[in-house]
Amino acid sequence: MLTAPASNGPSQRLTLPWWRDAVIYQVYVRSFLDSTGDGIGDLAGVRSGLPYLKKLGVDGIWLSPFYPSPQHDHGYDVADYTGVDPVYGDLGEFALLVGDAHRLDIKVLLDIVPNHCSSEHPWFQQALAAGPGSEARSRFHFVPGRGPGGDLPPNNWHAMFGGPAWSRVTEADGTPGEWYLHMFTPEQPDLNWRNPAVGALFDQVLRCWLDRGVDGFRIDVAAGLFKHPELPDSPDPEADARTRDSVNPLAWNQPEVHQVWRRWREVCEEYTALDGRERLLVGEVSVPTAREHALYVRPDELHQAFFFDLLGAAWDASAFRTVITDALRDIAGTGSSVTWVLNNHDQVRTVTRYGESDPKGSGLGAARARAAALLMLALPGAAYVYQGEELGLPEVVDLPDEVLTDPIFRRTGSRARVRDGCRVPLPWSGHASPFGFSAGTQVKPWLPQPGWFAEHATDRALADPRSFWHLYREGLQLRRGLPQLGEGALRWLESPPQVLAFERGDGLICAVNFGTEPVPAPAAGAPLLSSGTCPAGTLPGSTAAWWVVASATNPHARPISSQ
């Protein structure tokens, strides 16, 4: 039996902190709902969507960056960490959004980007003007180049989005000058966290938003921040370039980063001590193993860190089992709770990733995505749901080149079509674009929506009891009502190799058939909830189901047919 301990250091209270088993909905603001009719989602749109999210049953929302930004990486290039970009609204609208969310008992998490800022941030502009050797430049990584005339980059590091991780500036006198480091695009210069001014800036930023009422932060690139002080060559630059993952051991996962998370945790605890509200830090942590990941969620560091291995696992029972076992052993073992993720704004959507060939998403990929959702919601810990996941939206794989805006496409010489297809604005209603996303029918959303989005629109999903939406809603409701779900023990049950079956707490059984042929159900009777039709006594292929076997008196011990 694997048990997740019920405490996490300084936050230990008699009742469990809300975040330990919360389900958070990721709002990609740009693509959620557009209230102004300019084709771009905004904060007022998010506010008007809150009742929809309440009905779905999530505990909180994470808002993708809405700060002033030239949008070279859709807001992950921040020019002002404490403002709102006029494209998305203003501070007044933000305050209304937080107020409404809290009235509905929905927590609000912001996305904070401490590894890099925008090249339009005043600090970077000052650094360009101030020249070599200045204090302004020491807030970034400015260094002379190598080779004759300093014409070569200072080292062999690759940027995550393609090309070298260095760009050269032209000094004020017009001569070719120093190089600066950017692990993503040249418009996103990396900050130098060895300069105390950087930490001090982010202390102020955290406090500013905490004072404005937010419940916590999703931290971008949380294993970044510190680079090896000597900036030496990477031992395997080709691997860094190939995987587009944080594999360069000199640029990522440096031990000094942990002191930042201790500091941020202190700031959160300070606010909690004032008003008793638990604040949450959840890190985007990409590191090679679950064991290294666990270091980020030690009791005095981040509360949680996304565990991307579930997202990365192929549709295969033993792959999923290994990932789940490692996470529960290494992460829950620290006292944190595992933070499960199947989708986000950087990944191909599950319906497509799990083998969809039909763009409308009604086939195998959809069945597997439904099953994966029930699996995730039955695991101990917290879960993050990316907008559109509750609609079973497939990836839009055929966007024409000219509409693509992901900087990865441009930086890889138009080779990698990676992240636009999961960011297409949500369909809400109707039969034609903008499908209720924008106020007005003539508006063109910032990325074009295909005609088949109509079949996934929220109005249809709500009206169809067999939709993804109802599956998520039932799952979330049951999670709230059943003491076995959320935190607690997971015990694997004997099952055929293509099946995962486990028991949560006392008598809640979840099974997933990763194969294509039916298998005998691991529990008698009709399931409490299933991702597809389950004929008596069987679990069909590509299907997951939950059963309550222990207590006939349990008020939830009744079958719910979701398809």
- CA 543 to chain CA centroid, Å, is 25
Query: For residues 284 and 306, is the Cβ–Cβ distance under 8 A?
Result: yes
**Whether residue 190 lies in the annotated active site:** no
**Residue least distant from ligand NOJ (Cβ):** 76
Query: For residues 375 and 544, is the Cβ–Cβ distance under 8 A?
Result: yes
CB of 344 to ligand NOJ, least distance (A): 7
CB of 407 to ligand NOJ, least distance (A): 8
Q: Which two tokens stand for residue 22?
A: 């919360």
CB of 178 to ligand NOJ, least distance (A): 23
CA distance 317 to 512: 8
In the complex with ligand NOJ, the residue whose CB is nearer, 25 or 184, is 184
SS3 238: helix
CB of 524 to ligand NOJ, least distance (A): 44
**Whether residue 389 lies in the annotated active site:** no
Number of other residues whose CB lies within 10 A of the CB of residue 86: 9
CB of 391 to ligand NOJ, least distance (A): 21
Pairing of strands 508-513, 529-530: unpaired
CB of 425 to ligand NOJ, least distance (A): 17
Residue 552 φ/ψ region, left for φ over 0, alpha for ψ in the -120 to 50 degree band, beta for the rest: alpha
In the complex with ligand NOJ, the residue whose CB is nearer, 46 or 223, is 223
CA distance 329 to 472: 27
In the complex with ligand NOJ, the residue whose CB is nearer, 309 or 503, is 309
CB of 346 to ligand NOJ, least distance (A): 5
In the complex with ligand NOJ, the residue whose CB is nearer, 220 or 420, is 220
In the complex with ligand NOJ, the residue whose CB is nearer, 188 or 234, is 188
Query: Which residue type occupies 319?
Result: A
CA distance 433 to 257: 45
SS3 404: coil
Instruction: Name the site residues for ligand NOJ (rule: CB under 6 A).
Output: 73, 76, 113, 184, 220-221, 284, 345-346
In the complex with ligand NOJ, the residue whose CB is nearer, 404 or 457, is 404
Compute φ and ψ for 304, nearest 5 degrees.
Answer: -145, 160
CA angle 206, 387, 87 (to 5 degrees): 60
CB of 72 to ligand NOJ, least distance (A): 10
Q: Which one of 42, 190, 220, 330 is the catalytic residue?
A: 220
CA contacts within 13 A on the Cβ side of 499: 24
DSSP H helices, 57-118, are: 91-103
3-class DSSP string for 106-152: CEEEEEECCCECCCCCHHHHHHHHHCCCCCCHHHECEECCECHHHCE
In the complex with ligand NOJ, the residue whose CB is nearer, 76 or 472, is 76
In the complex with ligand NOJ, the residue whose CB is nearer, 75 or 541, is 75
Query: For residues 70 and 118, is the Cβ–Cβ distance under 8 A?
Result: yes
Compute φ and ψ for 81, nearest 5 degrees.
Answer: -75, -10
Q: Which one of 238, 266, 270, 292 is the catalytic residue?
A: 270
CA distance 407 to 430: 31
SS3 153: coil
Residue 536 φ/ψ region, left for φ over 0, alpha for ψ in the -120 to 50 degree band, beta for the rest: beta
Q: Which residues are catalytic?
A: 220, 270
